[in-house]
Amino acid sequence: MLKQNLPNQIFSLPNKPFFHGSNSHFHHSLLSISKPRPKTTTHHARTRRRRCRAASDTTSNKLEDASAIADYLVHEKPIKVKAAVTVKQTMTAMFTGIGIERGIDDIQDLLGKTLLLELVSSELDPKTELEKPTLQSFAHKGGGGKVVDGEVSYEAEFEVPAGFGAVGAIVVENEHHKEMFLRNIVLEGFPSGPVSFACDSWIHSKFTDKRKRVFFTSKSYLPQSTPAGLVGLRAEELVTLRGNGLGERQHGDRVYDYDVYNDLGDPDADQALARPSLGGKEFPAPRRCRTGRPRCESDAADPSAEKKTRDFYVPRDEEFSEVKQLTFSAKTLYSLFNTLIPSLGNVFVDADLGFHHFKTIDSLFSVGFEVPELSKEGFWNALLPRLFAGTGNVMRFEPPGALERDKFFWMKDEEFARQTLAGLNPYCLQLVTEWPLKSKLDPEIYGPPESAITTELIESEIGGIMTVKESIERKKLFILDYHDILLPFVSKVRELKGTTLYGSRTIFFLTPEGTLRPLAIELCRPPMDGKPEWKHVYRPCWNSTDCWLWRLAKAHVLAHDSGIHQLVSHWLRTHCATEPYIIATNRQLSVMHPIYRLLHPHFRYTMEINSLARESLINAGGIIESSFSPGKYSLEICSAAYDQLWRFDYEALPKDLIRRGMAVEDKNAPHGLKLTIEDYPFANDGLVLWDTIKEWVTDYVTHYYPEPDLVEADSELQAWWTEIRTKGHADKKNEPWWPQLETSNDLIEILTIIIWVASGHHASVNFGQYAFAGYFPNRPTITRIKMPNEDPTEEEWKFFLKKPEAVLLATFPSKLQATRVMAVLNVLSNHSPDEEYIGDEMERSWSDEPLIKAAFEKFSGRLKVLEGIIDERNANEELKNRSGAGVLPYELLKPHSKPGVTGQGVPNSISI
């Protein structure tokens, strides 16, 4: 299994050669590969390098520990050093490396010219004040060229002259015609011990890109403490990764830049697929990675819209590892979106055909259905065993966790309420603090702002226990408020075929047991089509007609919650908001920077997943638009939420809880917060994880920034934070709530937020998707018809009275919509075989620093303690929101899981 570690690397150098070293054996042969640098340099360049060295010298003594200083001891005699290079034998190379080029590459291997390596000194030449000449050597196959555990070894030898200094980087050139996956390089022979380079990266062929690659050692340096001989390379790295903002990005490029979401539509294929660009004044949004594709030609297109292409560019080091490609991406997501999902359209020819009976829904899990268009019998069984468990091409869904425990869970009011605290979307419940409830929308457009949920109605539902005023004072009333965010889209969505929409409010009451009881649902339609505003309140009742209306109202609210979950809590707040952090980190923080090395594991695969989402999930006509209530306006709702609700500082779990009234600050309470609902599983587990992450970040930051002025003095760090705010989240750049970055405490809070969002936040809204929504009546993604009591015809009302179950089934998604979403959620909830969980893998740069190593081990240990805490809480029968008859335990924030397991495990990154 290919495990991706933190690349201590990596950038493409401009195509300018290095001085040849003293290894004369290779001197003659290398003359044909690169011309030597001129022995003289310009006054400007000399001055720049002198200043770099001077800047480095002023702070290096403050930050380098004894072991680092020892690395600079100069040996008195030339020494022989051996380089051991490990290359992964990839499936790509095996299947594509056939033909003339393969033959040439084999000859190069025989001649011992597979990889050209160059050692880079950390020191400047004391005479010229320039970088010292590099030492060059070709690597040849070692170990008889045998493949061991899927890896091939290469060897090279160097003679390192006296006074060369510590090796700070190694330059690699791939002499093959195909790219190679370089695992690591280890230099043996130095008096101070081995020097390691953890690469884990693809190395392009020199025949496709003449620029060489550089990998740094695992030693981390702030900009002002960089060894003088590496200052120039550090600067060149960032210039290369930023690119020039021109041209179309190609596979293999490693350029990070910003653009708006102007590639979600496809008007050149169909003008109905034209979509506005997201990002800018009209539709604010975070920025994505620039691809630079040509503009669309259709007159229906936004002028900035890019052409749709098959493959969406992401920088090469952001792409899936080959194991991820073979087990998850290429074999699973691509097959799912490009083969299986289209095939379902042939099985269910009528896209509007719904389920006529609940037993038909149940048959999806017991009998299944044949997908005859699929070829390669047995392929799908191996690829998606939870969807194709039998023989042939019979697709049968695995019963989700909640359904396995209680077949009727989806019907129950108590489960409806419980899932707001311990379900798939625990981020939206709020404390009611003002009464009466009022909209903030323009009454001239949307009607009177007062809610139809009255004081009398609530007090009658409470049953005389307390007044509304008392219940608010005692923090007993809570709300899911999707009124103002959805109401502006109701009239537009209702023009679409096969869907409807309301603004909604749902009120809950906190019982003495600490559980929630739903009291009322309000559904609202603004004035439209010549009709006045319509709003109605539904509540649990004891007569058949109102009971069925209550069930239908719940279905609408659940569809609203499903849309907000997927578009806001999941896509916007994790995937979409994080991409600018990744771009800025690669553009402004050198791979040598300790903060880069802290963040990098939490960004693994996120950009690749986001590109796949743009291609098949959130694109025009994709899964979201075709299967969720807002349809083609889904991403506009996402933009509205970003504009109205998203704040970086509120992405911190404690502040999010406080903002929603779910907690108040209390220095004497655990985590410094007193929860409004004591048994709030997501918050209880999340706060332990939040504090654990923050303690790790605190230990890490204080190690590298021991003095108060170092944060402000860190030029790369300041540029990074500025770029996140002003470019990555450009539409929010003038907001006053952005944290300042002046002290180590500021940095700790910022980093904790980013890591929490990529790990705990994402895990809590992703890996339970199938467990809770795999049985779609529990969380329908779309409601296709309006409520039967909204301006009904006589015929409509009679049909409802005669067959209410048929009305509910007609409200639910169609067969095609349901099976598509279920298949996608099944895959997205699954952990990849090479998943890395938070606190599981220690990066090489951390293990080389004793204090950081100890801090990480403490971090990992605390996460193991959290596992036990969660198990203990789930076994506590007093905690009614996470235990009880038929209740699915809350395990979404358990730090670890196993491949194929859903509903638990917190990966390092947004990797799915």
Which positions are catalytic? 570, 575, 762, 766, 912
Q: Are strands 151-160 and 167-174 parallel, antiparallel or unpaired?
A: unpaired
Contact 278, 568 (CB under 8 A): no
The answer to whether 179 and 252 have CB atoms below 8 angstroms apart is yes
Structure tokens at 575: 């995937």
Distance of CA 178 to the CA centre of its chain: 30
Distance CA 601, CA 582 (A): 11
As a whole number of angstroms, the distance between CA 72 and CA 465 comes to: 76
Distance, in Å, from the CA atom of 867 to the CA atom of 905, rounded to the nearest integer, reads 10
* Distances, alpha carbon 842 to alpha carbons 123, 258, 357, 848, 850, in Å: 29, 31, 52, 10, 12
Q: At what angle do helices 804-811 and 544-564 cross, to 10 degrees?
A: 10
Burial of 511 by CB count in 10 Å (0-12 exposed, 13-18 middle, 19+ buried)?
Answer: middle
Nearest to 679 by CA among 396, 370, 421: 421
Tokens (6 digits) for 742: 């002046």
HSE of 343 in the Cβ direction (CA atoms, 13 Å)? 18
DSSP sequence for 537-548 = EE---SSHHHHH
Residues in the chain, overall count: 912
For the beta carbon of residue 235, count every other beta carbon within 10 angstroms: 15
SS in 3 state form for 459-507?
HHHHCCCCCHHHHHHCCCEEEEECHHHHHHHHHHHCCCCCCCCCEEEEE
Dihedral of CA atoms 472, 678, 672, 838 in degrees, nearest 10, equals: -130
With tokens 């537009």, the residue in question is 492
Of 136, 124, 122, 120, residue with least CA distance to 21: 136
- The token pair at 582 is 């990744």
The DSSP symbol for 423 reads: S
Dist. CA 107–CA 111, nearest whole Å: 6
Percent of the chain that is helix, strand, coil (3-state, to 5):
45, 15, 45
Q: Which two tokens stand for residue 390?
A: 């039998």
**Contact present, 311 and 251 (Cβ < 8 Å):** yes
> What letter represents residue 567's amino acid?
L
Alpha-carbon span 286 to 580, nearest angstrom: 7
Structure token pair of residue 243: 């690119």
In 3D space, the residue among 650, 682, 686 whose CA is nearest the CA of residue 671 turns out to be 686
Q: How far is CA 877 from CA 403, 418, 871, 882, in A?
A: 21, 15, 12, 8
CA dist., res. 814 & res. 835, Å (int): 34
Torsion angle of alpha carbons 585, 258, 829, 395, nearest 10°? -150
Give how far Cα 125 sits from Cα of 18, 35, 122, 136, 214, Å: 14, 20, 10, 17, 20
Burial of 868 by CB count in 10 Å (0-12 exposed, 13-18 middle, 19+ buried)?
Answer: exposed
Rg (CA), the chain: 30
Residue 135 pairs in a beta bridge with 119
49 to each of 69, 74, 588, how far by Cα in Å? 22, 22, 20
By DSSP bridging, strand 167-174 and strand 11-12 are unpaired
